[in-house]
Every structure is written in structure tokens, then in C-alpha cells.
């Protein structure tokens, strides 16, 4: 079992056949931020969306929590539905930080990385702000923090408020202290060669209105053969704002690398 975490992580799954895709959510959301990806991609894949410690319905964690702890716990969730199988790892924000640690733990079991809401940020200055806010406001900080993951245009919509309210309705089973431990783990320096040693196909899907968008190009430059696509007008959680484009780009990437399991291509629609 993963260290510092009080038990197995909670997850939702959709799809009973096909390869595995594991989705790992951003702060301050939970696994349901992948609702649009789960709904479509479960046509071809076994999809698992995981609540990381302190969020949704996953257990708490203790001080000393590390990125490797969270990565191992996510693999343990994958093992419950597909022991010993390979998986595509998809992450947003903290999920995009956990996924490379998962790759390094099991490079032979990682088919590809699909990351969004991410960039190369060696100073990790954002972690102090989040620790300070959760320390001052407790778990209630999640509601207004949710809007920071969205573009200015999207955050004023009823849909944005719907999602912020839905995540906050799970605050009773979430834990601010655990989330603070998580940000302390995030604040640690990148291990030596952390990005340069990624040896599976990887794509960064970045919203043009995301604060981390400029640094996404620096991350791309550090990962061998990494691809990058821009979602114009989308914010940090671009998979939630523009699922039609996010899903299309993700499917095209997987198909390009021989990881789309069906000869029947999805309907392209209008983008």
C-alpha cells in the first residue's frame, strides 16, 4: 500500500472493454471533472477517474505525503480493474504532476501521457499561495478556487457555477489538511532528469487562457518527442471547458500512436 495515505483511493469507472485510461484530476476539483471524457472515451476504453487523497471520496493523508505516494496509490486503483495491464495516463494540473511519477514507477505499463493545465515551473511558487489560502479558509476555499481553473469567459457561465457547487457539495468528505500536505509535496524540486527521461508518447493539451500556458512550451522542450496542441480560449481545466476539442485531439494523438483500439473512427463533428 502507498505510504502516508489512509487506504485505497476512490474512483469511478466507465467502459468494460478495451485498453485502460486513468484520469487524474486538478486542484480543487475531483474525478467528476472528467465527466465528458469518461462519457465518450468509454465507448472504446476502460476509463477510470480517480479522486486523489483529500478530495471527493478518497481518504486523508498524513504529513510527509510525497508525489511518489500519490502515484503509487493511483496505480493501485488501476490495478483493481486491470492488474498487470498497461494504461494511458491523463492528468490535469496536479494530475499532470502525478502522471510522470506514475510513468517512472512503471514505464513498461505506461502507454502514453496526455497532460493539460501544466508547464515547467521549477520555482513552484504557486504552492505557497494555495497552502496559505487553505490554512486560512479551510475546505471552503475550494469553491472560489474552482473558478481560477477556468477562463474569464467560462467562469461567469451557469455551467461553471454548477461545477463549482458540485465539487463543494463533497467538502464534507474532503480534507483541507491533506490538501495542504499535497501542496507541500508539489513544492518539492523535480527529480533529476524527471521530464527528460519520459520515454513514452506524450502530448500537452493547453488552454490559451491558462496561466500555465506559456510554461507549457518549456515543458514540451524538455520531454523527448513531446507533442503540444492549443485549445484557443480555454482555461486551466480545458477538458471541462472544451470537451469536443479536447477529446478530438486526445483521440487523434492516441490513434497516431497505435493506441486507438477501433477501426471505426469517432464522429468528427464541428469544432
Confidence of residue 268 (pLDDT cuts 50, 70, 90): low
pLDDT at 269 over 70: no
- % the chain with pLDDT above 90: 96
- Taking only the tens place, the pLDDT of each residue in 24-83 is 999 999 999 999 999 999 999 999 999 999 999 999 999 999 999 999 999 999 999 999
- β-strands 110-116, 202-207 pairing: parallel
Look at residue 240 and give its three-state secondary structure: helix
pLDDT at 271: 47
- Taking only the tens place, the pLDDT of each residue in 126-152 is 999 999 999 999 999 999 999 999 999
**Which residues contact residue 175 at a Cβ distance below 8 angstroms, ignoring those fewer than 6 apart?**
53, 54, 60, 139
**Which residues contact residue 262 at a Cβ distance below 8 angstroms, ignoring those fewer than 6 apart?**
44
Task: Check residue 61 and report its DSSP letter.
Answer: B
Helix axes 141-148, 158-168, angle to 10 degrees: 140
pLDDT at 262: 78
Contact in structure between 89 and 112 (CB atoms under 8 Å): yes
pLDDT at 270 over 70: no
Give whole-number Cα distances, 251 to 38, 74, 174, 246, in Å: 13, 23, 32, 9
- Taking only the tens place, the pLDDT of each residue in 151-187 is 999 999 999 999 999 999 999 999 999 999 999 999 9
42's grid cell: 468509454
Q: How far apart are CA 214 and CA 208, in angstroms?
A: 8
Look at residue 263 and give its three-state secondary structure: coil
Confidence of residue 263 (pLDDT cuts 50, 70, 90): confident
For 215-243, give one letter per residue: b (16+ CB within 10 A) or e.
Answer: bbeebbeebeebbbbbbebbbbbbbbbbb
Q: How far apart are CA 135 and CA 68, in angstroms?
A: 24
Q: What is 11-256's CATH topology?
A: Rossmann fold (3.40.50)
- Taking only the tens place, the pLDDT of each residue in 90-130 is 999 999 999 999 999 999 999 999 999 999 999 999 999 99
Mean pLDDT in residue range 206-230: 98
Amino acid at each position: 500500500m502507498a505510504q502516508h495515505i489512509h487506504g485505497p483511493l476512490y474512483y469511478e469507472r466507465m467502459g468494460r472493454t478495451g485498453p485502460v485510461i486513468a484520469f487524474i484530476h486538478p486542484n480543487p476539483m475531483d474525478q467528476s471533472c472528467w465527466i465528458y471524457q469518461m462519457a465518450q472515451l468509454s465507448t472504446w476504453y476502460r476509463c477510470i477517474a480517480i479522486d486523489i487523497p483529500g478530495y471527493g471520496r478518497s481518504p486523508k493523508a498524513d504529513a510527509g505525503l510525497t508525489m511518489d505516494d500519490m502515484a503509487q496509490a493511483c496505480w493501485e486503483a488501476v490495478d483493481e480493474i486491470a492488474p498487470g495491464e498497461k494504461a494511458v495516463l491523463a492528468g490535469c494540473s496536479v494530475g499532470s504532476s502525478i502522471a510522470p511519477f506514475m510513468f517512472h514507477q512503471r514505464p513498461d505499463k505506461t502507454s502514453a501521457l496526455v497532460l493539460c493545465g501544466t508547464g515547467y515551473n521549477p520555482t513552484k511558487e504557486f504552492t505557497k499561495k494555495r497552502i496559505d489560502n487553505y490554512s486560512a479558509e479551510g475546505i471552503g476555499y475550494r469553491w472560489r478556487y474552482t473558478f481560477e481553473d477556468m477562463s474569464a469567459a467560462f467562469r461567469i457561465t451557469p455551467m461553471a457555477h454548477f461545477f463549482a457547487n458540485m465539487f463543494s457539495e463533497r467538502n464534507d468528505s474532503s480534507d483541507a489538511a491533506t490538501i495542504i500536505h499535497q501542496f507541500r509535496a508539489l513544492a518539492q524540486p523535480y527529480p533529476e532528469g524527471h521530464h527528460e527521461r519520459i520515454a513514452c508518447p506524450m502530448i500537452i493539451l493547453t488552454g490559451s487562457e491558462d496561466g500555465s500556458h506559456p510554461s507549457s512550451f518549456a515543458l514540451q522542450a524538455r520531454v523527448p518527442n513531446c507533442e503540444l496542441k492549443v485549445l484557443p480560449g480555454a482555461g486551466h481545466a480545458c477538458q471541462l471547458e472544451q470537451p469536443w476539442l479536447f477529446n478530438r485531439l486526445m483521440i487523434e494523438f492516441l490513434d497516431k500512436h497505435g493506441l486507438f483500439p477501433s477501426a471505426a473512427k469517432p464522429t468528427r463533428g464541428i469544432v
